[in-house]
A and B are shown apart, each in its own frame.
Chain A
Amino acid sequence: MTQDDAPGPDPSRPGPEPLLSVRDLSMTFPGGRGRSARPVRAVDRVGFDVARGETLGLVGESGCGKSTTGRMIVRLLEPTGGSVSYDGRDISHLSQRELRPLRREIQMVFQDPHSSLNPRQTVARIISDPLLVQGSTATDARRRATELIELVGLIPEHIDRYPHEFSGGQAQRIGIARALATSPRLIVADEPVSALDVSVQAQIVNLMDRLQRELSLAHLFIAHDLSVVKRVCDRVAVMYLGRIVEIGPKERVYTAPAHPYTRSLLSAVPLPDPVGERARERITLLGDPPSPASPPPGCTFHPRCPKTQRICRTEAPELRAPAPGEARQVACHFPEAV
């Protein structure tokens, strides 16, 4: 598929120029050795915008390409196709050296707080390192680290401790403080609360919510937990097998999902309410998500879709608004009339 004209703006996010703009982003991993070796198309022409100070939720099941998308945006991976523009500038193929000034602007928060913190460094060192790399003096960096520790709700006296002395929730606070050290404008958070205990998850969700408002950060919040994403995001994009199947304002996607996959995903989430839970109508999908190494032809969701017709088996649906004037886009031949 060749496209000479640059793809237009993301219609699900009308408004001024976005902070982050992703177009036709693709990642194909070469297949490994062995007889079943086949290149894997982990992300397939994904596009969206994130405005300044906005949170976009990226949801989907394992293997749908959401983490790979996040990693391409922070340029831990170089995309094999498409572009990532930050503040109007294409950063998808910059060299590590050219990326360095941008590292200040775009930061990442990881899933497992303990494995993303160096066990042999003190908290002070962990938080000041990004600042030292960016040229701060040691005294300034330490002062800033102390401020950040307080900002994320830890005790400044603990700044000379090591990561193992902290619980999971506290360690994630340190990870967040480190991400904030260089005063970024965009945070890519990849499953930031899914490794935490339920009673601690809420603390971290509230913290990220508060920091986002106070520092007017833009967030790309990647998660599989739809309830958490609903809480934090303004808009949401649902991915299935490397593609966005539905994207739009949170209220629309959650209350009136148009893609059959979004509908079944929402209905599969168990509610903590035994009476409502047993009475609820559920759309149970058949089978498992297919492997991205051998995606089904046509719409990749068709083997599991309750509404499959002949066209679904042959033709991949484009992402488009299901009705004129709708700020949401759906990639389905037969979207739910909502």
Chain B
Amino acid sequence: MAVEPLLSVRDLTVTFPTGDGPVRAVDSLSFRVERGRTLGIVGESGSGKSVTSMAVMGLLTGAEVSGSITLEGRELVGLTERELNRLRGRKMAMIFQDPLSSLHPYYTVGEQIAEHHRVHFGSRRAAARARAVEMLAEVGIPEPRRRAGEYPHQFSGGMRQRVVIAMALACEPDLLIADEPTTALDVTVQAQILELIARIQQERSLAVVLITHDLGVVARVAHDVLVMYGGRVAEQASVEAVFAAPAHPYTRGLLDSLPRLDDPDDAPLRAIPGNPPSLLAPAPGCAFAPRCPRAALAGAEALERCERIRPRPAAVAGHTVACHLPLGPTAAPYTPPREATP
């Protein structure tokens, strides 16, 4: 733990002014990512996971961002647009759910990748173009020299996402943020893209922040997991710890409610009752309290504490968990899944 983390986020809070009053989309969030590690940020819509990544990239205009975000020890909160432009693409890069929205329809993909290189390194046109072809080859696009001269609409969805990854990595950033990178893709193509991200991450020893709602994707590629609920951290731990013995009742509930290929189908799914919280009227206590089975069973006094007092993230058996009634490692029996099919 002596290693200085590449990315360190402390007490990040993001507030949007809206017609209905301020909305605190992210509330006192802290985490760190080291080189060569992948942090999976999991949450449902409105949990603040995308806003967190936008805040790191400095892409939130019109929102109030407080707390601290440091990249290689350098503070990012409060930097000017000009200073951020020098870091974006060069030190940190981001890929989004819909690759078409990140690509310009009027330029060939080769020109778009080369542009990054020219802007950040002042490379000559020919050198930048050669680099673009190299990048396309690296992300597994066949016939890269020819494909570099084509336009985004000539690529399929999976190939477009490869182009966007090539573009993001063209200037060799240290940090890659991937916001739902495979959600718009078919499952067989998703498998290819996840494999690509994992391979590139290892080869380049990148720090990756992977934002997703899909626990299966997290299980496949992440080393560490941060579970968000209602703009706050619910739980953070290594991927093995989170799946083997979740400490937060929300994490447990999410895992229990998933239909799984390796489960028998006879019993109904154990759904979490209720709906995700509204950020307009946040609860004073734990955001999950109204849906929490543990709070409901713990008696009136404990329930009141959950509803009134906000739990602070604390270390419990290798997890960081924000809960008054965390599940212990023994309280959550975990039956390992049977042999997967096929």
Report the contact-size class of chain A (Cβ under 8 Å from the partner).
Answer: 35 or more
Taking a contact as CB atoms under 8 Å apart, the answer to whether A230 and B259 are in contact is: yes
Q: How far is the CA of A256 from the CA of B300 in the complex (A)?
A: 50
Number of interface residues of B (CB under 8 A): 52
Residue of B nearest to A336 (CB): B342
Map CB proximity to B onto A146-170 as digits: 1 under 8 Å, 0 otherwise. 0000000000000000000001011
Q: Counting CB contacts under 8 A, is A268 at the interface?
A: yes
Within 8 Å of chain B (Cβ to Cβ): is A255?
Answer: yes
Q: Considering only CB atoms, which chain B residue lies closest to A290 in the complex?
A: B156
The interface residues of chain B lying within 8 Å CB-to-CB of A226 are 187, 261
Query: In the complex, A285 Cα to B268 Cα: how many Å?
Result: 33
Q: Are A269 and B269 neighbours in the complex by a CB distance under 8 Å?
A: no
- Residues from chain A with a CB closer than 8 A to the CB of B316 are none
Also in contact, A255 and B259, with CB within 8 A (given A170-B275, A198-B213, A230-B265): no
Cβ proximity bits A239-270 to B, threshold 8 Å, 1 near / 0 not:
00000000000100011110000011111111
A residues 271-306 touching B (CB-CB < 8 Å): 271-278, 280, 282, 284-285, 287-289
B219 A274 Cβ-Cβ under 8 A: yes
Taking the complex as formed, is A206 at the interface, i.e. its CB lies under 8 A from any CB of chain B? yes
Whether the pair A276, B340 counts as a contact (CB closer than 8 A) is yes
What residues of B have a CB within 8 angstroms of the CB of A228 in the complex?
259
Question: Given A263-B342, A267-B342, are A198 and B258 also a contact pair (CB < 8 Å)?
Answer: yes
Report yes or no: B253 in contact with A272, Cβ–Cβ below 8 A: no
Q: Verify if A307 is at the interface (C-beta below 8 Å from B).
A: no
For residue B217, CB closer than 8 A to chain A, the reply is yes
Contacting residues, chain A, for B254 (C-beta < 8 A): 198-199
**Inter-chain contacts of B219 with A (CB < 8 A):** 270-274, 277
Complex Cα spacing A202 to B220, Å: 22
Q: Inside 8 A of B18's CB, which chain A residues have their CB? A: none
| A-binding segment of B26-34, B60-68, B143-151, B188-196 | B188-196
Given known A230-B259, A284-B191, A288-B189, contact A274–B275 (CB-CB < 8 A)? no
User: Residue of B at shortest CB range from A267?
Assistant: B342
**Cross-interface CB contact of A257 among B217, B275, B342, cutoff 8 Å:** B342
The interface residues of chain B lying within 8 Å CB-to-CB of A263 are 342
In the complex, the chain B residue whose C-beta lies closest to that of A285 is: B188
The proximity string for B residues 255-276 relative to A, scoring 1 for CB distances below 8 Å and 0 otherwise, is: 1011111100100111111011
B258's contact among A227, A257, A282, A289, by CB below 8 Å, is which?
Answer: A227
Distance A158 CA – B189 CA, assembled complex (angstroms): 42
Question: Given A202-B270, A276-B337, are A197 and B213 neighbors across the interface (CB < 8 Å)?
Answer: yes
Q: Is B186 an interface residue (CB 8 A)?
A: yes
Contact B275 A272 (CB under 8 A): no
Chain A positions within 8 Å of B11 at CB level: none
Residue A96 lies at the interface, judged by CB distance under 8 Å to chain B: no
B214 at interface by CB-CB < 8 Å: yes
User: In the complex, what residue of chain A is closest to B190 when comparing beta carbons?
Assistant: A268
Q: Measured between alpha carbons, how far is A230 from B341 in the docked complex, in Å?
A: 13
Q: Which of A169, A257, A276 contacts B336 (CB 8 A)?
A: A276
**A62 proximity list for chain B (CB < 8 A):** 186
Evaluate whether A265 and B188 lie within 8 angstroms (CB atoms) in the complex, with A197-B213, A206-B268, A277-B216 already known: yes
Among B191, B270, B337, the one with the most A-chain Cβ atoms within 10 Å of its Cβ is B191
**Partner pick for B271 among A167, A206, A227, A269, CB 8 A cutoff:** A206
- Judge whether B16 is part of the interface by a CB distance below 8 angstroms: no
Given contacts A197-B44, A198-B213, contact A271 B268 (CB under 8 A): no
- Chain A contacts of B272 at CB under 8 A? 199-200, 202-203
A321 at the interface (CB under 8 A from B): no
How far apart are the CA atoms of A231 and B191 in the complex, in Å? 22
Give chain A nearest CB distance to B112 CB in angstroms. 20
- Residue B303, interface by CB 8 Å: no
Alpha-carbon distance between A227 and B157 when the two chains are bound, in angstroms = 23
Q: Could you give, for residues 192-218 of chain A, a 1 whenever the CB lies within 8 Å of some chain B CB and a 0 otherwise?
A: 000001111111011001100000000
Complex Cα spacing A264 to B192, Å: 12
Q: Find out whether the CB atom of B157 lies under 8 angstroms from the CB atom of A288.
A: yes
Residue A24 at the chain B interface, CB threshold 8 Å: no
Q: Mark contacts of B289-301 with chain A using CB atoms, 8 A cut-off: 1 yes-contact digit, 0 otherwise.
A: 0010000000000
Nearest first, the 3 closest Cβ-Cβ pairs linking A and B are: A270-B216, A202-B271, A61-B186
Show the binding face of B for A, using Cβ within 8 Å.
44-45, 156-159, 186-192, 194-195, 213-220, 222, 239-240, 243-244, 253-255, 257-262, 265, 268-273, 275-276, 291, 336-337, 340-342
